Amino acid sequence: MLFEVSFSTLKFLAERDPILAVVYDTTNTLSPSEVVLHKSWDGIADTVATTASRPGSEFAIGIVYTSNDTEASKKAHELASKFLDTHATVFVGSNCDASDEKVVNWIDTPELDSIVDQTGSSNETGDILIDTRRRDELNNFGQVRNAKNIPVEEICDALALHEGAFERKYGFPLPGKSTTVVTYCRTNRRAHFCTLLLKDLGFTNVKTYKEGVVGWAKTHKAEVAGARGYDAYELHEPVPQAHAN
């Protein structure tokens, strides 16, 4: 699927995963050291072809950052459409405004403790705590009590579902745009990304737990934490040992 995103989201991705950042930047907002920078559409097309052919790249991200002119925007969308036959989720930023930086509302462990208690069985506040990690990570290392799981790779597709389809797949009601949503992951990178995407999708009250599962496990006994800390690993790599609390 193809999603329109903000400058903040594009910049976050470009700074952290330059191999998959495809950029047409006529405003010189991002430096060449931060991204794979192309000044010609032919150069971008070559990068698209290379990225699309990468084996196993089910979460390849195509980014096209354009200036705010109509012709560039049209070309950006034409180029982005070439990703749609691959396993990539495509993020396009056209008419991006560098002043549109989205502020992330970081929360600490005491505040998350309070939210975890509020999101229990009664959950009168309606707040939702979303674990953005892969399902194998939850299976191997547990999750914070009362959290729901939507892997960050699925967040845009998930929130595009109809209410019934969403609840059948994820086991809880589709949140409204004014719902308080709290995101977390192993540390905070994926949660940060998820927060930016939620804001792009129109959610107005999103918070991000800064310490992640690693920090949470350090400050709670195992039976209370529900999750254990661990080192980062990819799906095809051996599962690491859990950190000692």
Where in the chain are the domains?
Answer: 2-93, 105-225
Residue 190 dihedral angles phi and psi, to the nearest 5° = -70, -35
Helices (runs of H) and strands (runs of E) counted in the chain: 10, 10
56-91 per-position pLDDT tens digit: 444 445 555 555 567 666 766 776 676 666 655 667
Q: pLDDT at residue 20 above 70?
A: no
Q: What is the mean pLDDT of the chain?
A: 77
Q: What is the DSSP track for 197-236?
A: HHHHTT-S-EEEESSHHHHHHHTS-HHHH-B--B----TT
Q: Rounded CA gap, 149 and 157, in Å?
A: 14
Of the options 3.10.20.90, 3.65.10.10, 3.40.250.10, 3.30.70.580, the CATH number for the domain spanning 105-225:
3.40.250.10
Q: Rounded CA gap, 197 and 76, in Å?
A: 19
Worst-scoring range by mean pLDDT, 4-8, 45-49, 51-55, 173-177? 51-55
Three-state DSSP class for residue 182: strand
User: Average pLDDT, stretch 160-188?
Assistant: 94
User: Average pLDDT, stretch 121-129?
Assistant: 71
Q: Which of 115, 129, 133 is nearest to 182 (CA)?
A: 129
According to DSSP H, which parts of the chain are helical? 7-16, 41-52, 70-81, 109-118, 135-141, 155-159, 163-170, 189-200, 212-218, 222-225
pLDDT value of residue 242: 93
pLDDT value of residue 14: 63
Q: pLDDT at residue 128 above 50?
A: yes
pLDDT value of residue 178: 93
For residue 77, the tally of other CB atoms under 10 A from its CB is 16
pLDDT value of residue 209: 97
Q: pLDDT at residue 18 above 60?
A: no
Query: When comparing pLDDT for 98 and 221, which is higher?
Result: 221
Q: pLDDT at residue 111 above 70?
A: yes
Query: When comparing pLDDT for 19 and 165, which is higher?
Result: 165
